[in-house]
Amino acid sequence: DAGVTQSPTHLIKTRGQQVTLRCSPKSGHDTVSWYQQALGQGPQFIFQYYEEEERQRGNFPDRFSGHQFPNYSSELNVNALLLGDSALYLCASSLGQGRTTEAFFGQGTRLTVV
């Protein structure tokens, strides 16, 4: 049973560019949440998608946007990249909008902005 898979694993982008990160949830899961983890920090909640809609959002600017597809996979898009966007981006999936205690994390996409 495949867990949460994220792609790509590593990415280097130039300041001002746009990036798209992808996440496939664990089999049977329908809810995807995205987190940003800066070096030496804990993950910070970006937003959550359920039934193809953004349901909750953390304190992140509109440059961060997302999408969920009918097969429950999700994308995170970041526009106008800043150096401070360099971080590990984590995707977590769960069954149902709640069930935080049953969320599984992928191993993340490490984004470096130069």
Partner 1 sequence: QKEVEQDPGPLSVPEGAIVSLNCTYSNSAFQYFMWYRQYSRKGPELLMYTYSSGNKEDGRFTAQVDKSSKYISLFIRDSQPSDSATYLCAMDYNQGGKLIFGQGTELSVKP
Residues that bind partner 1 (CB under 8 A): 4, 31, 33, 35, 40-45, 48, 50, 55-56, 58, 90, 92, 94, 97-101, 103-108, 110
CA distances from 82 to 61, 85, 87 (A): 12, 5, 11
Q: Residue 76 in 3-state DSSP?
A: strand
Name which of 18 and 107 has its Cβ closer to partner 1. 107
Please report how close the Cβ of residue 16 comes to partner 1 at its closest, in angstroms: 27
Distance CA 5, CA 15 (A): 26
Please report how close the Cβ of residue 86 comes to partner 1 at its closest, in angstroms: 15
Q: State which amino acid sits at residue 18.
A: Q
Name which of 20 and 44 has its Cβ closer to partner 1. 44
Please report how close the Cβ of residue 33 comes to partner 1 at its closest, in angstroms: 6
Name which of 2 and 14 has its Cβ closer to partner 1. 2
Q: Is 70 exposed, middle or buried (0-12, 13-18, 19+ CB in 10 A)?
A: exposed
DSSP annotation of 96 reads: S
Please report how close the Cβ of residue 68 comes to partner 1 at its closest, in angstroms: 13
Length of the chain as a residue count: 114
Name which of 16 and 98 has its Cβ closer to partner 1. 98
